[in-house]
Amino acid sequence: MRALGWAVGAVALGLAVLFAGLEAAGFDAEVGLGALWMGAFGSWDAFSSSTLVRAVPLILIGLGISVAFRGGAINIGAEGQFYAGAIAATWVGLHLAGRSGPIAIGALLLAAAVAGLCWVAVPVWLKLRFGVIEVISTLLLNFVAVSLVSFMVQGPLQEQGRIYPQSDTIAEAAQLPLLPGSRLHAGLVLAVAGALVLWFLFAKTLWGFRLRAVGMGPRAAEVSGRIDSQRVSAVALLVSGAIAGLAGGVEVSGVSYALFQNLSPGYGFTGIAVALLGGLHPIGVVVAGVLFGALEAGAGAMQRDAGIPAVAVYVVEAVVIIVALLATVPRGGWTGLRAVVRKRIAPGKAAG
Amino acid sequence: MDTEMLVAGFLAAAVRVATPLLLAATGETVSERSGVINLGLEGIMLTGALAATLGATAWGPWSGVACAIAAGMLLAAVFALLVVGARADQIITGTAITLAAVGLTGTVYRQAYGSGGAGLTIPTLESVAIPGLSQIPVLGPALFDQPVPTYLALLGMPIVWWVLFRTRLGLALRATGEGAAMARAVGVRTNLIRSGATVVGGGFAGLAGATLVLAQVGSFAEGMTAGRGYVAIAIVVLGRWHPGGIALGALLFGVATALQFLLQTLGLDAPYQLFLMLPYLLTLFALAGAVGRVRAPADLGR
């Protein structure tokens, strides 16, 4: 209940800051927030076709990031892993005409997850082999991924007509089924199922325990539990990349049906807010994902109907992240994450 | 085509690209030496760029520079308040600051200029040739016929080195970064030092953003920093937390970026996106080569 309390407080404060900021910038904040609410929850259509559709990638990425954070690894490259997944999914999806639905969708999603995993494998390798902190390497690879997508949609994956910077539509068999009468796709089921699986893994398995042990304090985990904390963190990063890649595949298979530039409006960064607001707990992440989906959907409506730039909601996200951080940080600091950061960034005298 | 002109143009482009990176990385060195890693640098640069645009439009280019530095210091002060004052996690807080800056600049920019700000022209900083030095063949135009921020970057580097390694303040700052508890025990006001260093870093990043707008692009665009703040942080690691090394790191990135102009001039027909990736990949490679042999300030990130 306490956790819920501060989460609600964080969002409320974020919205209050948005309101004040919009007023200060000379916008009609009341109209803006009204449009935001209507765009997110105003009707079943808005809720299912906008809010929930945007919630799906956010939940998946948020889940991925919480795996990494729990294991004391800092993945700020979900955006790049998402794009890697989307590229692979598109490529596979274009070659699946005539296959049956389950096989086609399975192949597409598998390709996406593997691509995300490969994308994060580079930072993992750099970290284990050369000691490059993943904070910087995952970040830098985001920019590489964005350029790669741009290259793909104007090169190997460009549509047949060679006019628009986008790919052809993927095979119908590889498209996720839709809820009748809306744009909501089966990816939501996948996201919720993924959350339940992770919840089980976190709470009931040795892997989940090790993850938490390393996240709380790598040295203690090594000394008292004989846990190879480097390895646990590395696996956490790989899993988180795979899930972010999967999110890219789901987006292609359920929403866009093709590869575009700017497929993601910063889902990889919003996912950090989702993971933190959800308290790194899978069920919390689902709730937070829906909430941020609503925010993103509402932002679109706010821009359309009230002329307020959609990017303004990033301010809300930032406030939520910071409040969530401050609220969950016990006095003296969030030992887990901080201990790992300290160890990775400053390897101490050993490396001197 | 004249080879000398080509090389001179290439070097000039490399220095131009390196300038904002060097400025931001120099500032980040100060804050990292005190133990604070600031991933909000990207957002602070972006905010500096917008502040420079607004300031320059209203009162001329130098006011733009002043506005950018002030805005950078202000945003860095917020960051310092959170990570030094409230001891929030530095990495995540920095990411949040950048996110906030993206939202803030986007909103303010559209409010100020409407959605079609493309035709916007603002007074910019012209190149100033240093008499004599700029006449040196090849190197002259690259280093000594540049806008003033380039000279500021070149001057800032030795000044920061001197302060860090030759003054009592610098000693206290480095002691704070290496072991805050110990530094506190001998009477150093570590929180004050860290906050101050972070704010100074923010000022440099703001200036870097101003350079981007006033000395290079000539207008503001949403998200125009395109990861330069993050690259600057990578450059600090590359340069081993030393002003001289950082200058080399920034130049490396500048050369990698300028390479695309050169190769395009030479008529090499490769997809431009591959060249866009090149600097980031090169930075990654360089990091892999550098990191194992360097030691960060021991208390960085704490």
Give pLDDT tens digits for A114-135: 999 999 999 999 999 888 888 8
**Contact (CB, 8 A) for B100 and B74:** no
CA B59 to chain centroid: 24
Which pLDDT belongs to residue B10? 85
A279 or A59, which is more confident? A59
Average pLDDT, chain B: 87
Min Cα separation B187/chain A (Å): 21
| Alpha-carbon distance values, A57 to A62, A107, A260, B64, B234 (Å) | 8, 19, 16, 40, 29
Residue A227 is predicted with a pLDDT of 79
For residue B117, the model assigns a pLDDT of 55
Measured between beta carbons, the chain B residues lying within 8 angstroms of A76 are 39, 91, 95
Most B CBs within 10 Å, among A19, A132, A313, A340, to test the B interface: A132
B179 touches chain A (CB under 8 A): no
Chain B residue numbers touching A122 (CB-CB < 8 A): 284
Best mutation target among A140, A141, A262, A334 (most B Cβ atoms within 10 Å) is A140
CB atoms B111 and A326 under 8 Å = no
- Residue B132: predicted pLDDT: 73
Min Cα–Cα distance to chain B from A347, Å? 7
d(CA B197, CA B177): 11
Q: How confident is the model at residue B110 (pLDDT cuts 50, 70, 90)?
A: confident
Tally the domains of chain A.
Answer: 1
- Smallest Cβ–Cβ distance between A313 and the set B82, B103, B274 belongs to B103
What is the per-residue DSSP string for B251-274?
HHHHHHHHHHHHHHHTT----HHH
Residue A334 has a pLDDT of 41
Q: Look at residue B1 in the predicted model and tell me its pLDDT.
A: 54
- Enumerate residues 84 to 103 of chain B having a beta carbon within 8 A of any beta carbon in chain A: 86-93, 95-97, 99-100, 102-103
B35 touches A: beta carbon within 8 Å: no
Say yes or no: B58 contacts chain A, CB-CB below 8 A.
no
Lowest mean pLDDT across A161-165, A332-336, B110-114, B245-249: A332-336
pLDDT confidence of A67, banded at 50, 70, 90?
Answer: very high
Alpha-carbon distance of B248 to B239, in angstroms, equals 7
B240: region left, alpha or beta (phi > 0 left; psi from -120 to 50 alpha) = left
The predicted model gives B180-185 an average pLDDT of: 88
Say which residue, A251 or B222, is predicted with more confidence.
A251
The alpha carbon of B233 is separated from its chain's Cα centroid by a whole number of angstroms, namely 9
Cβ–Cβ under 8 Å, residues A243 and A84: no
Mean pLDDT of B176-183: 89
- Alpha carbons A91 and B295: distance in angstroms, whole number: 43
Cβ contacts (< 8 Å) between A334 and chain B: which residues?
89
CA-to-CA dists, residue A5 to A11, A98, A287, B195, angstroms: 10, 51, 14, 31
Closest Cα in chain A, distance from residue B203 (Å): 21
The reply to whether A352 falls in a domain is no
The CATH class of the B20-115+145-229 domain is: mainly alpha
Could you tell me which chain A residue has the CA closest to the CA of B90? A338
Residue A152 has, within 13 A of its CA and on its CB side, a CA count of 25
> Rounded distance, CA A295 to CA A274, Å?
11
Instruction: Name the residue with tokens 């916007």.
Output: B120
- Domain annotation covers residue A251: yes
Interface residue of A147, A331, A344 to substitute, partner B, most B CBs within 10 Å: A147
pLDDT at A346: 40
Residue with tokens 């160890």: A343
pLDDT higher than 50, residue A16: yes
Distance of alpha carbon B160 from alpha carbon A159, whole angstroms:
52
Would you call A130 and B88 a contact, using CB atoms and an 8 Å cutoff?
no
Burial of A129 (0-12, 13-18, 19+ CB in 10 A): exposed
Report pLDDT digits (tens) over A331-349: 333 444 444 444 444 433 3
Residue with tokens 């047949």: A160
Q: What is the pLDDT of residue A97?
A: 76
Q: What is the CATH number of the domain that holds A335?
A: 1.10.3470
**Please, which pLDDT band fits residue B97 given cuts at 50, 70 and 90?**
very high
Measure the CA–CA gap between A81 and A195, rounded to whole angstroms.
19
**Coil vs helix vs strand at B292:** coil
Query: In this structure, which amino acid lies at residue B2?
Result: D
Q: What is the pLDDT of residue A57?
A: 97
**What's the domain range around A225?**
2-346
| Subunit contact A321:B92, Cβ cutoff 8 A | yes
Contact between A67 and A60 (Cβ < 8 Å): no
- d(Cα A285, Cα A61) in Å, to the nearest integer? 9
B284 touches chain A (CB under 8 A): yes
Beta bridge partners of A51: none
Share of chain A above pLDDT 70, in %: 92
CA distance A277 to A5: 11
Residue A331 pLDDT: 39
> What distance, in Å, lies between the first and last C-alpha atoms of chain B?
54
d(CA A260, CA A16): 34
Domain residues of chain B, as ranges?
20-115+145-229
The pLDDT assigned to B62 comes to: 92
Q: Which helix (H) or strand (E) holds B119?
A: none
Res B120: pLDDT: 65
3-state secondary structure A285-323: HHHHHHHHHHHHHHHHHHHHHHCCCHHHHHHHHHHHHHH
Residue B108 at interface with chain A, using a CB cutoff of 8 Å: yes
Q: Residue B51 — very low, low, confident or very high, per pLDDT cuts 50/70/90?
A: very high
A143–B227 C-beta distance less than 8 A = yes
Average pLDDT, stretch B148-161? Answer: 91
> Lowest mean pLDDT: which of A65-79, A230-244, A314-328?
A314-328
**Helix locations, A184-281, DSSP H:** 187-204, 206-216, 218-225, 229-251, 267-277
Instruction: Classify the complex by whether its ipTM is higher than 0.90, answering yes or no.
Output: no
The predicted-structure confidence for B210-229, as pLDDT tens digits, reads as follows 999 998 888 888 888 888 99
Distance CA A143, CA B76 (A): 24
Kindly indicate the confidence band of residue B18, based on its pLDDT and cuts at 50, 70 and 90: very high
Q: For the range B8-12, what are the long-range contacts, defined as Cβ-Cβ under 8 Å and sequence gap of 24 or more? A: B8/B137, B8/B138, B8/B141, B8/B142, B9/B261, B9/B262, B10/B258, B10/B259, B10/B261, B10/B262, B11/B138, B11/B139, B11/B141, B11/B142, B11/B143, B11/B258, B12/B141, B12/B142, B12/B145, B12/B146
Q: Is the pLDDT of residue A136 over 70?
A: yes
- The answer to whether B291 contacts chain A (CB < 8 Å) is yes
Quote the pLDDT of residue B113: 80
Residues of A in contact with B92 (CB under 8 A): 74, 272, 276, 321, 325, 337
Say what the pLDDT of residue A116 is.
97
Whether residue A351 and residue B295 make contact (CB cut-off 8 A), yes or no, is yes
CB pair distance less than 8 Å for B287 and A147? no
Smallest CA–CA distance, residue A176 to chain B, in Å, is 31
